């Protein structure tokens, strides 16, 4: 009899940059399809999945236009970019046979549903993937903070930060070949060593809610599934 997943409900934090592949900005369709396949492999195990997605891949293409812009205005533009990414991810999931719903912290009801906590939880219980766009709906807060917030609200057992790096290292592995990956590290240790796991607000919220974080590479085949199964993949940050 196959082993059961360690986690029943998860929140995946996916950066917008992860969708670019090798492109300078925008969405690389092959990369998007690969990410969806990783998510589908976990959904097929019966795991309930929420996703918070960033917008850096789209906003990077507007970097010149946004230079010198008021911070709040730029942040709202970034939130709109996350909604665009959420819609693209939802469409790719639909094409792969996954049932997905997009909920936005910004009110754009002609395009996507507004974020309603109770409805999001019901969708998860029905086996649908819920993609949260629009960040927190407020400027000055990152999508890392949105992931910590939504993860806490929906009762996720863990936040999985899907990046291009396969964990948290003692130093930058690109600059220091002797850098080692932490398999596990406490929140207090990560803070004490100045490790950039998430931004400070998100990190503090996860610590206060006793919501563990696992940092792993979404581009490593099967990594998401291994994390969900409780295998040694990426870095687990815990209380």
Binding residues for UMP: 55, 75, 136-143
Q: At what angle do helices 143-154 and 200-208 cross, to 10 degrees?
A: 20
Written as six digits, the tokens of 223 are: 């990594």
**204/200 Cα distance (integer angstroms):** 6
Written as six digits, the tokens of 150 are: 């939504």
Binding residues for ATP: 13-16, 56, 60, 163, 169, 172
Neighbours of 206 (CB within 10 A): 27
> Are residues 211 and 156 in contact, defined by beta-carbon separation less than 8 angstroms?
yes
- For residue 12, the surrounding DSSP H or E stretch is strand 9-14
**50/60 Cα distance (integer angstroms):** 25
> Are residues 218 and 224 in contact, defined by beta-carbon separation less than 8 angstroms?
yes
Written as six digits, the tokens of 128 are: 């649908």
Binding residues: 13-16, 55-56, 60, 75, 136-143, 163, 169, 172
Beta-carbon contacts of 81 under 8 Å, excluding residues fewer than 6 positions away, are 16, 55, 56, 57, 58, 59
- For residue 225, the surrounding DSSP H or E stretch is helix 223-228
């Amino acid at each position: 009899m196959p082993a059961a997943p360690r986690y029943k409900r998860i929140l995946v934090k996916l950066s917008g940059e992860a969708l670019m592949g090798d492109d300078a900005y925008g969405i690389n369709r092959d990369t998007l399809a690969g990410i969806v396949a990783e998510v589908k492999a976990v959904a097929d195990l019966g795991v309930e999945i929420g996703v918070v997605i960033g917008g850096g891949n789209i906003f990077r293409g507007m970097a010149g236009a946004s230079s010198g812009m008021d911070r709040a205005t730029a942040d709202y533009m970034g939130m709109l970019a996350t909604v665009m990414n959420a819609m693209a991810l939802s469409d790719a999931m639909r094409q792969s046979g996954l049932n997905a719903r997009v909920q936005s912290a910004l009110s754009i009801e002609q395009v996507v549903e507004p974020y309603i906590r109770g409805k999001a939880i019901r969708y998860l219980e029905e086996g649908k993937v819920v993609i949260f766009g629009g960040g927190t709906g407020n400027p000055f807060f990152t999508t890392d903070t949105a992931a910590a917030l939504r993860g806490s609200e929906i009762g996720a057992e863990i936040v999985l930060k899907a990046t291009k790096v396969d964990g948290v290292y003692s130093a930058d592995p690109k600059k220091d070949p002797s850098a080692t990956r932490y398999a596990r590290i406490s929140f207090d240790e990560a803070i004490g060593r100045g490790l950039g796991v998430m931004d400070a607000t998100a990190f503090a919220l996860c610590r206060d809610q006793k919501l563990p974080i696992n940092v792993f590479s979404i581009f490593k085949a099967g990594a998401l599934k291994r994390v969900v199964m409780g295998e040694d993949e990426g870095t687990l940050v815990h209380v």
